[in-house]
Chain A
Amino acid sequence: MNGISDTQLVSALRRQMTIAVAKQVASAGNLANVDTPEYKAVEVNFASALDERLTPPAATHSKHFSTASSGAISTQEIPGVTPRRDGNTVQLDQELLTMNRAGGDFSAAQTALAAKFRLVRYAINEGR
């Protein structure tokens, strides 16, 4: 059957959660330094976040799937923000928004993963 295997899905769910955590950590650091002079706000690297996509286009060999989740997550300075008078680039509402969104992403992935576990566990228990 042509579809997404369970292992792929679990791997992708894990990655979504890891990225959500990274975003929260970055935002927490930014919020802590909202009043620090010369501090530049950081964000999760866009390229590493893109690896969330489950099925890379035209992936035919099973070996392709493992690379989707193995990229390290890194942070970079948020580009294009005009610093305030003290050199700080942290935008308070932006960071809070990011944290809330990341929390939502994490919740969705965690609930889906818990549901998959429950399904498998049921099959194991009742399939005797």
Chain B
Amino acid sequence: MPTLSSAINASASALAAERTRIEVAVSNMANAESTRGPDGQPYRRRDVVLAPDRTSSFDSALGKAGAVGVSVAAVVEDQAPFRRRYEPTHPDADPEGFVTLPNVEPQNEMVDLIGASRAYQANLTAISLIRDLVSRALELGR
């Protein structure tokens, strides 16, 4: 069934997108204290921008819309200002004793991680439900 396969495509696209979100959240958390990157600057938090993927949703063979998928439109750097913390003994402390730290709040990253995991799980469930439907439909032909 064409529209059902579009539904599986949509769910599969979500798996890829949510996995990207998980990877970015984990990268943010891992670098929450990285004061000096390859460019000498602290790590800047990254954000995933999602957008609906309507190009593959219109099933021209049937003339009706299938399921709308999702895609990662971009991974951007969060332009929020860096944090500053007073720690004169830190090797990267400036002359006033302040360290410039990445603009990462670990608890926010955790929330994103959990949300992305739940969405990933839900889309996995969706795929198996659709697969069940298709196999039941095939039983009609027996």
Contact = CB atoms under 8 A, between A and B. Distances in A.
Given A35-B115, A92-B118, A103 B11 contact: no
A33 B65 contact: no
A21 B3 contact: yes
> Which of B6, B10, B133 has the most A CB atoms < 10 Å from its CB?
B133
Contacts of B78: none
B129 A17 contact: no
A96 interface: yes
Contacts of A110: 136-137, 139-140
Interface in B1-58: 1, 3-4, 6-8, 10-11, 13-14, 17-18, 21, 49-52, 57
B137 A34 contact: no
Contacts of A24: 4, 7, 129-130, 133
B76 interface: no
Q: With a 10 A CB-CB cut-off, give which of B8, B18, B119 has the most chain A CB atoms.
A: B119
B102 interface: no
A72 B3 CA distance: 14
Contact of B4 (A25, A37, A75): A25
B136 A22 contact: no
Nearest to B65: A75
Contacts, number: 108
Contacts of A100: 129
B33 to A, nearest CB: 27
B129 A36 contact: no
Give the interface size bracket for B toward A.
35 or more
A65 interface: no
A36 B130 contact: no
B3 A25 contact: yes
Contacts of A99: 125-126, 129
A32 interface: yes
Contacts of B8: 28
Interface of B: 1, 3-4, 6-8, 10-11, 13-14, 17-18, 21, 49-52, 57, 64-70, 115-116, 118-119, 122-123, 125-126, 129-130, 132-133, 136-137, 139-140, 142
Interface of A: 17, 20-22, 24-29, 31-37, 39, 72-73, 75, 92, 95-96, 99-100, 102-103, 106-107, 110, 113-114, 117
